[in-house]
Structure 1
Amino acid sequence: MELGSLPLLGFLVSLIFLLLVKHVVSICTCSAPGKPRLPPGPWKLPLLGSLHHVLLSRYGDLPHRALRDLSGIHGPLMLLRFGVVPTLVVSSAEAAREVLKTHDTAFASRHLSPTLAVFSRGGQDILFSPYGDLWRQLRRVCVLELLSTRRVQSLRHIREDETAGLVRSLADECARTGGVGAVVDIAERMSHVINNIVVRSAIGSRCPRRDEFVREIDESVKLTAGFNLADLFPSSTLARWLSGGLRKAERCNQQMCDIMKDIILERTTAGAHGRSDGEEDILSVLLRVQSDGGVQCALTTEIITTVILEIFAAGSGTSSTTLEWAMSELVMNPHLLRRAQAEVRGAFKGQIKITEGDVGKLSYLHLVIRETLRLHAPVPFLLPRQCRERCEVMGYDIPEGTKVLVNTWAMCRDGAYWEDAEEFKPQRFEASTAMDFKGGDFEFIPFGAGRRMCPGVALGLANMELVLASLLYHFDWELPSGDELDMSESFGITIRRKSKLVLRATQRFP
Structure 2
Amino acid sequence: MEFSFSSLPLYIASFLLFFLVKQILKPKSGKKLPPGPRTLPIIGNLHQLMGPLPHRTLKNLSDKHGPLMHLKLGERSAIIVSDARLAKIVLHNNGLAVADRSVNTVASIMTYNSLGVTFAQYGDYLTKLRQIYTLELLSQKKVRSFYNCFEDELDTFVKSIKSSNGQPMVLYEVASTYLYATICRTIFGSVCKEREKMIKIVKRTSLLSGTPLRLEDLFPSMSVFCRFSKTLNQLRGLLDEMDHILEDIIVDREKNTEILKEGKDDEDMLSVLLRHKWHNPSGAKFRIANADIKAIIFELILAATLSVADVTEWAMVEIIRDPKSLKKVHEEVRQVCKDKGKVTGYDVEKLDYLRLCLKESTRIHPAAPLLVPRECREDFQVDGFTVPKGAWVLTNCWAVQMDPEVWPEPEKFDPERYIRKPMDFYGNSFELIPFGTGRRGCPGILYGVTNAEMMLAAMLYHFDWEIADGKKAEEIDMTEDFGAGCIMKYPLKLIPHIVNE
What's the TM-score, normalizing by structure 2? 0.89
1:390 aligns with 2:379: yes
> What pairs with 1:15-414 in structure 2 (closer than 5 Å)?
35-55=30-50, 60-174=51-165, 181-226=166-211, 227-241=213-227, 243-273=229-259, 279-293=266-280, 294-349=283-338, 351-414=340-403
Opposite residue 306 of structure 2, the aligned amino acid is G
Task: Give the gaps of 5 or more residues in structure 1.
Answer: 1-28, 175-180
CA contact (8 A) 1:114 1:234 kept: no
Corresponding residue SS for 1:430 = helix
Deviation at 1:236, TM superposition (A): 2.0
What letter matches 2:220 in structure 1?
P
Indicate if the aligned counterparts of 1:230 and 1:243 stay in contact, CA closer than 8 A: no
Is 1:121–1:306's contact at 8 Å kept on the other side of the alignment?
A: yes
Assess, with a 3 A threshold, how the Cα gap between structure 1 residues 42 and 377 changes in structure 2: closer, same or farther.
same
The match for 1:470 is 458
What is the match of residue 24 of structure 2? none
Q: Go from structure 1 to structure 2 and tell me whether the alpha carbon gap of 1:224 and 1:88 turns closer, same or farther (over 3 Å shift).
A: farther
Name the CA shift for 1:234/1:297 in 2 (closer, same or farther; >3 Å): farther
Give 1:335 deviation, angstroms: 3.0
Deviation at 1:248, TM superposition (A): 2.6
Give the CA RMSD over aligned residues: 2.1
SS at match of 2:89: helix
Moved more, 99-108 or 228-237: 228-237
Pair 244,87 (structure 1): closer, same or farther in 2 beyond 3 Å: farther
The 8 Å contact of residues 233 and 239 in structure 1, kept in 2 or not, is answered as no
Give 1:225 deviation, angstroms: 4.2
Q: Any idea what the Cα deviations from partners look like across 1:384-419, whole Å, max 9, x if unmatched? A: 101001111221111111011100011111111101
Number of residue pairs the alignment of both structures matches: 467
**Where does residue 485 of structure 1 map in the other structure?**
476
CA distance in 2, matches of 1:471, 1:339: 14
Q: Secondary structure at the match of 1:454?
A: coil
Distance 1:40 1:375, change over 3 A: same
Equivalent-residue separation in structure 2 for 1:217 and 1:234 (angstroms): 27
Structure 1 counterpart of 2:185, one-letter code:
R
Q: Which region of structure 1 is more displaced relative to structure 2, 80-89 or 466-475?
A: 80-89
**Separation in 2, partners of 1:123, 1:110:** 9
Letter in 2 for 1:289: H
Whole-angstrom CA distance in 1 between matches of 2:86 and 2:230? 36
> How far does residue 242 in structure 1 lie from its aligned partner after superposition?
5.5
Q: Which amino acid aligns with 2:467?
A: L
Aligned 8 A contact 2:478 2:488 in 1: yes
1:460 is aligned to 2:448: yes
Task: Decide whether aligned partners of structure 1 residues 242 and 47 sit closer, same or farther in structure 2, where only a CA change above 3 A counts.
Answer: farther
Is 1:230–1:246's contact at 8 Å kept on the other side of the alignment? no
Cα contact 2:333–2:457 (8 A) shared by 1: yes
Structure of larger gyration radius: 1
Question: Does the aligned pair in 1 maintain the 2:144–2:345 contact within 8 Å?
Answer: no
C-alpha separation in 1, matches of 2:222 and 2:187 = 37
- Per-residue Cα deviation, 1:420-464 (whole angstroms, up to 9, x for no partner): 100111111113x42211222111001111111111111112111
Cα distance in 2 for residues equivalent to 1:323 and 1:125:
25
Tell me the SS of whatever aligns to 2:371: coil
Contact 2:276–2:287, Cα closer than 8 Å, also in 1: no
Q: Do the aligned partners of 2:260 and 2:275 also contact (CA within 8 Å) in 1? A: no
Q: Name the CA distance, whole Å, in 1 between partners of 2:461 and 2:408.
A: 30
| AA aligned opposite 1:414 | D
Q: 2:236 & 2:163 partners in 1: Cα distance?
A: 41
Which secondary structure state, in structure 2, belongs to the residue aligned with residue 236 of structure 1?
helix
Q: Deviations over 1:72-127 (max 9, x none)?
A: 11111111122212111111111111111111110011111222211222222211
**Segments of 4+ in structure 1 off by > 6 A?**
none
Relative to structure 1, is the Cα distance of residues 222 and 86 closer, same or farther in structure 2, using a 3 angstrom cutoff?
farther
TM-score, normalisation: structure 1: 0.87
Residues 115 and 230 in structure 1, CA contact (< 8 A), matched pair in contact too: no
2:434 aligns to what SS in structure 1? coil
- The corresponding residue for 1:25 is none
CA distance in 2, matches of 1:66, 1:222: 23
Q: Which residue of structure 1 lines up, in the alignment, with residue 17 of structure 2?
A: none
Distance 1:43 1:243 in 2: 31
1:137–1:296 Cα contact (<8 Å) kept: no
**One-letter amino acid of the counterpart of residue 219, structure 2:** F
Give, in whole Å, the separation in 2 of the partners of 1:364 and 1:193: 23
Secondary structure, in 3 states, of the residue corresponding to 1:65? Answer: helix
Q: Which amino acid aligns with 1:244?
A: K
Change (3 A) 1:279 1:139: same
1:418 is matched with which residue? 407
Distance 1:350 1:143, change over 3 A: closer
